[in-house]
C-alpha cells in the first residue's frame, strides 16, 4: 500500500484553519523509516487566547442549538469519518506506525463512539421531585461549558474522539491539543466536523509545546473542565493545575495490567488471547496486558504458546501487506524497551524470544518474552508501554491477587479461569476499573472505561461518559408567589 500524501498541517480555531502566529513548527516523523512527513504548527499564547475566546462564542451557539439538530450534525460528522476511514487509516499508520487494519478499524470504531454519545445525549434527562403543591422542584443536567482536552499519540483517532464526542454531545465546546506526533489524524477528524456544519468555535484544535499549552488553557477563566489522557506523572501535574484553578478534571492515565491465569484455565487459549492483545499497537495501549501471573502448573505450557504467538508476529511498515505489528511510535519507547529488557536480564530474567531492536531504519523492537523475572526488575513495576511481556508464576491465588494489587496502577486487569467461583474471587479481589475474564478484548463505546488508584478518575464511554461534561442544577420554583 502506498504512503498517503501527507496533508499540510494547520490548527483549527474559530471555524478556520490557520498557522501558528509566529510561524514556529515541529517536525512529524514516520516511525517506520524515521523520515520527516511534515511540519506541525505550534500555537502562541495569542493563538490560544483566540481559541479560548472562540470556545466561549462556540459554546453559546452550540449549547443553544436544539439537541436534535446537534445530533444530526454529529451523525453527519460520523458518516463523513466512516466514508474516509481508508484515508484516515493510512495517515494514522504512516504517522503512528500501527498496521493499516488496526488504524482503519480505529477510525471506524470512533465514528461509532461519536454516534453512540450523540444519541446518548438525547437521554441526558433531569428529573422532577415530588414537592409541596404550588412548587416545582426539578433537577436539570446542563453542559459544563468550554472544555480543555489533551490527548496522546497511541490512539491518534480514539483518544481525541472520546473527548470531542462526549464534549460536543453534551453541548459543550472544546479546545483540544492533540498529539504533535500524530497531528494529521486529528486534523482529518476535525475536518469531518467542519464539513458537517458545526458552528464556529464549538471545536478548536491546537498544537504546541505541551507544558505551555496546558498551563495556559487550564488556568484560563473560560475553561470549565480539564480532560487528559496520558501518563500518570503528567496527569498529576495537570490535575494539580486544575485543582489550583478549582476546575474538575477527567484523568485517563497509565496502567500495568495484571493477567492472572488460574490453575483450571486452558493455558494455550489464554496465551493466544493474551499475546494477541499484548502485541496489538505494539503494546502501546494503556490497558495492554503487561504482567503475566500464571499458576505454576501451567506456566511452561502458557510460556510456550505465548512465545509461539510472539514469533508469529509479522513486523514491518504498517502499510505493508500482512504486517501485524508496526514500529514503536517514537524513539522514546524504543529506548525504554532496551532499558527495561537490559534491567530485567541484569537481574536474572531469561529472554525466551526477542529482546532487541531490529537492525533497520525505524523504531522496530522485536516482540519479547521474558521469564523468571524477579519482582525487583523495573518492568514488574513500570508500565512497559511496548511489546515486552514478563511472565512469572504463582502457587496461591491470594498471593497472585496481592501481587496484582501491589502497584499504584488500577486501570485494567485480566483473569483466566473455568470456574465461576474463582472468576468471582478475581472480580472482587482485583483493584481495577476495567476487568475482563477469559478474554482480553478492547473497550466498547456502550460501557465505561477508566481507572482507580493512580490510573485516574472519571469514565469515558457508556452512559457515565457524559457525566463529567454535564453539571447538575437543582431548580426549586415557587409557582404561586
**Which residues are near ligand NAD by CB under 6 A?**
150, 152-154, 179, 210-211, 214, 229-231, 233-234, 237-238, 252-254, 286, 332, 383, 385
Distance CA 367, CA 277 (A): 12
Minimum CB separation of residue 447 from ligand NAD in Å reads 17
Q: Which three cell numbers stand for residue 355?
A: 529482546
At residue 480, what are phi and psi to the nearest 5 degrees? -115, 85
Distance CA 304, CA 321 (A): 27
CB nearer ligand NAD, residue 177 or residue 224:
177
CA proximity to 29, closest of 138, 165, 179: 179
Minimum CB separation of residue 405 from ligand NAD in Å reads 19
Minimum CB separation of residue 379 from ligand NAD in Å reads 12
Minimum CB separation of residue 281 from ligand NAD in Å reads 10
Active site residue 286: yes
CB nearer ligand NAD, residue 180 or residue 431:
180
Minimum CB separation of residue 335 from ligand NAD in Å reads 10
Minimum CB separation of residue 383 from ligand NAD in Å reads 5
Distance CA 368, CA 249 (A): 36
Residue 2 burial (CB count, 10 A): 6
In SS3 terms, 95-160 reads as: HHCCCHHHHHHHHHHHHHHHHHHHHHHCCCCCEEECCCCCEEEEEEEEECCCEEEECCCCCCCHHH
Active site residue 172: no
CB nearer ligand NAD, residue 111 or residue 379:
379
CA proximity to 410, closest of 464, 456, 447: 456
Please state whether 316 falls in left (phi above 0), alpha (psi between -120 and 50) or beta: left
Distance CA 77, CA 351 (A): 47
Residue ranges of alpha helices (H) inside 284-389 are 299-312, 331-346
CB nearer ligand NAD, residue 434 or residue 470:
434
Selected catalytic residue, list 262, 286, 383, 440: 286
Which residue bears the cell 466536523?
193
CB nearer ligand NAD, residue 295 or residue 445:
445
CB nearer ligand NAD, residue 124 or residue 157:
157
Q: Which three cell numbers stand for residue 419?
A: 470456574
Enumerate the β-bridge partners of residue 12: 17, 205
**Is 129 in contact with 115 (CB distance < 8 Å)?**
no
Q: Residue 315 to residues 251, 280, 318, 389: CA-CA distances in angstroms?
A: 32, 11, 8, 16
CA torsion sign for 136, 142, 144, 150 is positive
Selected catalytic residue, list 106, 181, 188, 252: 252
Minimum CB separation of residue 186 from ligand NAD in Å reads 11
Which residues carry out catalysis? 252, 286
Amino acid at each position: 500500500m502506498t504512503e498517503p500524501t501527507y496533508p499540510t498541517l494547520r490548527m483549527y480555531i474559530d471555524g478556520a484553519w490557520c498557522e501558528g502566529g509566529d510561524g514556529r513548527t515541529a517536525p512529524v516523523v514516520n516511525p517506520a523509516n524515521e523520515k520527516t512527513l511534515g511540519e506541525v504548527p505550534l500555537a502562541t499564547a495569542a493563538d490560544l487566547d483566540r481559541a479560548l475566546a472562540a470556545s466561549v462564542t462556540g459554546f453559546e451557539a452550540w449549547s443553544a442549538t436544539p439537541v436534535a439538530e446537534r445530533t444530526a450534525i454529529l451523525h453527519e460528522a460520523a458518516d463523513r469519518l466512516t466514508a474516509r476511514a481508508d484515508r484516515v487509516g493510512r495517515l494514522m499508520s504512516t504517522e503512528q506506525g500501527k498496521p493499516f487494519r488496526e488504524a482503519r478499524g480505529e477510525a471506524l470504531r470512533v465514528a461509532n463512539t461519536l454516534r453512540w454519545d450523540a444519541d446518548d445525549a438525547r437521554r441526558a434527562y433531569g428529573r422532577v421531585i415530588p414537592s409541596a403543591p404550588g412548587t416545582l422542584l426539578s433537577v436539570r443536567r446542563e453542559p459544563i461549558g468550554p472544555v480543555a482536552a489533551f490527548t496522546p499519540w497511541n490512539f491518534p483517532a480514539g483518544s481525541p474522539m472520546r473527548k470531542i464526542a462526549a464534549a460536543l454531545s453534551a453541548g459543550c465546546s472544546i479546545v483540544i491539543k492533540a498529539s504533535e506526533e500524530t497531528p494529521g489524524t486529528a486534523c482529518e477528524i476535525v475536518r469531518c466536523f467542519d464539513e458537517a456544519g458545526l458552528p464556529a468555535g464549538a471545536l478548536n484544535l491546537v498544537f504546541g509545546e505541551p507544558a505551555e499549552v496546558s498551563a495556559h488553557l487550564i488556568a484560563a477563566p473560560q475553561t470549565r473542565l480539564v480532560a487528559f489522557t496520558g501518563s500518570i506523572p503528567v496527569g498529576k501535574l495537570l490535575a494539580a493545575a486544575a485543582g489550583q484553578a478549582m476546575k474538575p478534571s477527567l484523568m485517563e492515565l497509565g496502567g500495568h495490567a495484571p493477567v492472572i491465569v488460574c490453575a483450571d484455565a486452558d493455558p494455550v487459549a489464554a496465551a493466544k488471547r493474551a499475546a494477541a492483545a499484548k502485541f496489538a499497537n505494539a503494546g502501546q495501549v494503556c490497558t495492554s496486558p503487561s504482567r503475566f501471573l500464571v499458576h505454576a502448573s501451567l506456566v511452561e505450557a502458557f510460556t510456550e504458546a505465548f512465545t509461539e504467538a510472539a514469533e508469529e508476529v509479522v513486523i514491518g511498515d504498517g502499510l505493508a501487506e500482512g504486517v501485524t505489528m508496526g514500529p514503536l511510535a517514537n524513539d522514546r519507547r524504543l529506548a525504554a524497551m532496551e532499558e527495561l529488557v537490559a534491567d530485567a536480564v541484569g537481574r536474572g530474567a531469561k529472554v525466551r524470544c526477542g529482546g532487541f531492536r531490529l537492525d533497520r531504519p525505524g523504531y522496530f523492537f522485536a516482540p519479547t518474552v521474558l521469564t523468571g523475572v524477579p519482582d525487583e526488575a523495573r518492568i514488574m513495576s513500570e508500565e512497559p508501554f511496548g511489546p515486552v511481556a514478563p511472565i512469572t508464576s504463582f502457587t496461591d491465588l491470594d498471593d497472585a491477587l496481592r501481587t496484582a494489587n501491589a502497584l499504584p496502577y488500577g486501570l485494567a486487569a485480566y483473569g483466566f479461569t473455568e470456574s465461576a467461583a474463582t472468576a468471582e474471587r478475581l472480580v472482587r479481589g482485583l483493584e481495577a476499573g476495567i476487568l475482563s475474564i477469559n478474554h482480553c478484548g478492547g473497550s466498547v463505546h456502550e460501557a465505561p472505561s477508566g481507572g482507580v488508584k493512580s490510573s485516574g478518575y472519571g469514565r469515558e464511554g457508556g452512559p457515565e461518559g457524559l457525566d463529567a461534561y454535564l453539571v447538575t442544577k437543582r431548580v426549586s420554583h415557587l409557582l404561586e408567589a
